[in-house]
Structure 1
Amino acid sequence: MAGYDALLVVSFGGPEKPEDVMPFLENVVRGRDVPRERLLEVAEHYHQAGGVSPINRQCRDLIDALRPVVGLPIYWGNRNWHPFLADTMRQMAGDGVRRAAAFITAAYSSYSSCRQYLDDIAQARAQVPGAPAVVRLRHYFDHPGFVAAMTDHTRQAIDRLPAEHRAGARLVFTAHSIPLSMAATAGPDGGAYEEQLRATAALVAGDRPFDLVWQSRSGPPQVPWLEPDVCDHLAALRAAGTEAVVLVPIGFVSDHMEVVYDLDTEAAQVARDLGLHLTRAATAGTHPRFVSMVAELLAEPEPAPCPAGCCPAPRPRAARPAAAEGPR
């Protein structure tokens, strides 16, 4: 397995009890001028779910599924909540890990879904004397394991529609919106975030027509982000005569808060108001093909590192978090 002696699962993190919610959100927006009232608004999304984000439980489930498959010790570190990456790096150093492969729970190229995680890993390593070398496994947006998992879950969602609506149901793939300026610089040549998402959606959809739309926009209104928004698109489809839609959150690998709130709560309510039949496909989660994909990535030759100018950090500006768990 390319000389790795451990696997490091890297994720965003999320609160696990009500008193975690505000400290977690403050970590997410640290260094940005986010109004307190906006944080309180987002906090309410978590409190409606008992103050617990599903994301950490889903990381644990994925790690449990990976243990018998990858044949390596598995560690887990988050960007914004326990277990923090620096703490995990200390544990790895103490255990004698010298060279780890990092599996990031984000499949696509952009600053938020790639470069920022690489920076997080570098900062964590810098805090720990004797920290192991860490090699990020390659982007897996088009890996057959990821595609197979999402295809399977999409078929299951279609089958949950009334029988008379299954053949004509519109597939609507969703991903986290990002600023147009960030999208333009994603990947070594720019534009990779949207290009990769469209490629994955096409592989999953097969012969069925589909749309790629965006959710969870979190920026100020004067800053242009990728559009259309999923709720606006549902309204447009219904106005054009569409009767049934399957939402496929292709931009995420687990059913975390942005999927549960923005799709299962907000978009589902919009569909009810419109009289639109709606089902939502599950994310890859612990689908067996997604789990086996990680072992296959470990067996590949070590990927080349990203070019230095790939997915640069955006210039600082005020931002407003949505469900705050970022692109997946």
Structure 2
Amino acid sequence: MTDLDLATVRAFVAVTDHGQFGSAADVLGISQQAVSKRIARLESRLGIALFDRVPTGAVPTAAARRFMAHARALLALADEAVATATARRGPLRVAILGERLAEMRAMRFYLARHPEAEVEFVQSNAYVTSRDALLGGRADAAFARAQGGLRALPGHIAAVPAYLDALHLLVGKDNPLSGRSAVTLAELAGHTVWVPGAAVPSEWSDYYDCLSRFSGITVDRTPRSELFPDAGTSHGPAPIEAMLEHIAASDSLSTFNGEGFELPWHPHIRRVRIIDPTPAYPHALLWNSIDPHPGLAALIAYFRDSYNSDAASDCWIPGPDRALFMP
């Protein structure tokens, strides 16, 4: 068994993100020599080379790119463990998956109308989900599916429907579907749709499994990191921008995108509605009913009242979610 020193893992992530040992040292608050020693110690422990030194800095090796996702997950779990052990009741902590998603837009709307609310957002990612943050005690509430995923939620986790996010198809301007205002779900049977987020086992990968079985769509789960290894680093584009550029340049590639997702502008990207039925992602508000935060009552009441149930009759959602989301 190989025990990993978290300090060396943090140094590895910092060098990868910033592309230079000096920049990583500034972020970590240590010397460049200390960063180099930590990387050398990690390389020795793993028995692999992690970086190729180039004139502009350091470029992750193929082995390093494979290790990166696990390194980020390890650090996130370590941070969560510390936060859980030292937690004090303060602002309402709400876990979200990303700044661009529908739940963040909904929370901004809520906070604009409830200026007295004290809310702190807990950012999740593809490897440590919003549900994990809630179950681990790092958050008081979370936006996620109430069903699906690797395991069922325990009985003390309560839920109300928050938002049905209709899925659209994103294609490039040369894609045969680009001229369509809408396409039926039946017409997409046999098509392959790229969903890089489904590469990680989670409640959303389970959602796309269900959609694939229902519709006959093949889900391509190739992760973005395999296609754009530099995306998200100091010398590469943002992951979402790299993905859009890839789709825009193709005459066949497509991906799903939620209606509530704030998409960066690209002149060659076209959004095509999916109808009859419209697949929708069921975002629920989850919380721990054993020890609820005092600020939860107003938030629960708001989403219970504002849930867009009028859209449900035209939507497809997985069977396990229907009891909560279908009026």
Fold-level match, TM-score > 0.5?
Answer: no
Higher relative contact order (CA 8 A, sep 6+): 1
Higher strand share: 2
TM-score normalised to structure 1 length: 0.34
